[in-house]
Amino acid sequence: MEVLMISPEGPENPKGPGQPLDPHREQPTNPPKPEKEPPSKPEEIPPEKEPPSPEPARRDPPVSPPDPHDPMPHEIDDPPTPGAPPEIIA
């Protein structure tokens, strides 16, 4: 029984040391791993609390666009027209 000794450089390479044995076969390489940042807890920043305002927030009601088919566009909150007869003002 014959024992083959393998040199520390690996099996004999006819192309020379450091060259791939078979150019069509990819040699197993260790690709450089991107440096990962160690997982750290995000710093918890307490939200800034604004003091409550003494007056509640006022919101204007949504304004709807005027109806193009309305022959007499008007607003409910229109002030009465000066000089208009009282029977028209309802």
pLDDT digits (tens, 9 = 90+) for 44-54: 666 666 666 66
Contacts for 17 with CB less than 8 Å, ≥ 6 apart? 9
* Distances in whole angstroms, Cα of residue 3 to Cα of each of 6, 44: 10, 65
Q: Is the pTM of this model over 0.85?
A: no
Residue by residue, pLDDT tens for the chain (90 residues) are 566 666 555 555 555 666 565 555 555 566 666 666 656 656 666 666 666 666 666 677 777 777 777 766 555 566 666 676 666 555
